């Protein structure tokens, strides 16, 4: 797959936009394959592969609600434009006061458009909650964030979903990975992109060895084909769990650069890994 990558309206740390081609080249889906993505985040992988039948899930209720509201027609591209033009103008006038006003409002009412606003104007496009599950990412300090071209870009991202949702049989569920993987059976495909073990520190989404082992056991018990995204190494450390927890899986690697802020010197090289329970060479052979 080397077509233009569709970028979803929701951003998240660890988003796989730049790895979609690498990931999809090792996946072979046919008409009947049901796609399961238990850690959907932005959903960029499955939304680009666009299988006919899919279950996307995540424990973040606001991501799931956002996609469900587009599916139900409650959020439309027209409403997104109207909302972002209005709130974007107020952000330009009131700067951080407006950002924190929307953040308080979101933490009280959980409106999906407020979630989109925060996601696109907060610091580094992060999604993070405190122990009381209140969104706590500070302001990105760009009062002109919602300039006309940027609003149009987001509106088009939503427009694309409005078009493809009715063409496919896709469910969006707020649930933990165990529940989603239990729904999958032989003949299905599960793509997992959990918080990276040994790297991800978050107040809410803690991810440790116990979770990683539970994930492995559920994946093997499902009988489905699976692929897991994880990290292999950077200049300082290696992911020891590849040899322990995931021993016996097939593996593909690629180098990827994570950017922290806009400065070139803040590019961090990382070797990414895909772990699979099937031989990816067989998929590449079918493409020759």
Ligand X SMILES: C[S@@+](CC[C@H](N)C(=O)[O-])C[C@H]1O[C@@H](n2cnc3c(N)ncnc32)[C@H](O)[C@@H]1O
Interface ranges with ligand X (CB under 6 A): 12, 14-16, 38-39, 41-42, 44-45, 58-60, 176-177, 193-195, 205
Asked if residues 230 and 281 have their Cβ atoms less than 8 Å apart, the reply is no
Bridge pairing between strands 225-233 and 169-174: unpaired
Q: In the bound complex, what is the minimum distance in angstroms from residue 264's beta carbon to ligand X?
A: 23
CB-based closest residue to ligand X: 41
DSSP state letter for 271: E
Nearer to ligand X, 16 or 98 (CB): 16
Asked if residues 231 and 262 have their Cβ atoms less than 8 Å apart, the reply is no
Q: In the bound complex, what is the minimum distance in angstroms from residue 170's beta carbon to ligand X?
A: 16
- Among residues 90, 76, 241, the alpha carbon closest in space to that of 156 is found at 76
Q: Please state, in angstroms and rounded to a whole number, the distance separating the CA atoms of residues 74 and 282.
A: 43
Q: In the bound complex, what is the minimum distance in angstroms from residue 196's beta carbon to ligand X?
A: 7
- Among residues 227, 230, 216, 242, the alpha carbon closest in space to that of 272 is found at 230
Q: In the bound complex, what is the minimum distance in angstroms from residue 68's beta carbon to ligand X?
A: 15
Q: In the bound complex, what is the minimum distance in angstroms from residue 231's beta carbon to ligand X?
A: 11
Instruction: Cite the beta strand spans of the chain per DSSP E.
Output: 34-37, 53-58, 169-174, 189-192, 225-233, 250-259, 267-276
Q: Which residues contact 115 (CB under 8 A, 6 or more apart)?
A: 62, 65, 66, 106, 135
Nearer to ligand X, 80 or 127 (CB): 127
Pair of tokens at residue 226: 């699976």
Nearer to ligand X, 123 or 196 (CB): 196
Q: In the bound complex, what is the minimum distance in angstroms from residue 89's beta carbon to ligand X?
A: 29
Q: In the bound complex, what is the minimum distance in angstroms from residue 138's beta carbon to ligand X?
A: 19
Q: What is residue 96's three-state secondary structure?
A: helix
- Among residues 39, 18, 4, the alpha carbon closest in space to that of 207 is found at 39
Q: Quick one: how many helices (H) and strands (E) in the chain?
A: 10, 7
Q: Please state, in angstroms and rounded to a whole number, the distance separating the CA atoms of residues 64 and 72.
A: 12
Nearer to ligand X, 206 or 266 (CB): 206
Asked if residues 199 and 232 have their Cβ atoms less than 8 Å apart, the reply is no
Nearer to ligand X, 79 or 199 (CB): 199
Nearer to ligand X, 132 or 264 (CB): 132
Nearer to ligand X, 16 or 34 (CB): 16
Q: What is residue 137's three-state secondary structure?
A: coil
Nearer to ligand X, 91 or 219 (CB): 219
Q: In the bound complex, what is the minimum distance in angstroms from residue 10's beta carbon to ligand X?
A: 8
């Amino acid at each position: 797959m080397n077509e233009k990558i569709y970028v979803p309206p929701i951003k998240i740390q660890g988003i796989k936009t730049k790895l979609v081609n690498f990931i999809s080249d090792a996946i072979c889906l046919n008409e009947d394959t049901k796609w399961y993505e238990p850690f959907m985040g932005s959903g960029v992988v499955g939304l680009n592969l666009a299988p006919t039948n899919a279950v996307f899930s995540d424990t973040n209720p606001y991501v799931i609600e956002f996609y469900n509201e587009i599916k139900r027609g409650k959020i439309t591209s027209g409403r997104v434009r109207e909302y972002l033009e209005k709130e974007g103008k107020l952000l330009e006038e009131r700067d951080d006061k407006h950002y924190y006003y929307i953040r308080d409002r979101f933490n009280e009412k959980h409106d999906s458009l407020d979630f989109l606003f925060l996601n696109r104007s907060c610091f580094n496009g992060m999604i993070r909650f405190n122990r009381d599950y209140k969104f706590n990412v500070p302001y990105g300090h760009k009062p002109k964030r919602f300039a006309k071209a940027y609003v149009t870009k987001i509106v088009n991202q939503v427009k694309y979903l409005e078009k493809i949702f009715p063409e496919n049989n896709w469910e969006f569920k707020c649930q933990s990975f165990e529940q989603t993987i239990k729904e999958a059976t032989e003949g299905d495909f599960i793509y997992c992109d959990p918080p990276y073990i040994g790297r991800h520190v978050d107040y809410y989404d803690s991810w440790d060895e116990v979770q990683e082992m539970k994930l492995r056991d559920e994946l093997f018990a499902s009988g489905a084909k699976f692929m897991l995204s994880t990290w292999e190494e950077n200049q300082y450390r290696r992911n020891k769990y590849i040899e322990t927890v995931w021993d016996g899986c097939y593996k593909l690697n690629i180098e990827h650069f994570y950017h922290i802020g806009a400065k070139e010197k803040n590019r961090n090289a990382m070797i990414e890994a895909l772990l699979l329970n099937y031989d990816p060479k067989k998929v590449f052979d079918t493409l020759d």
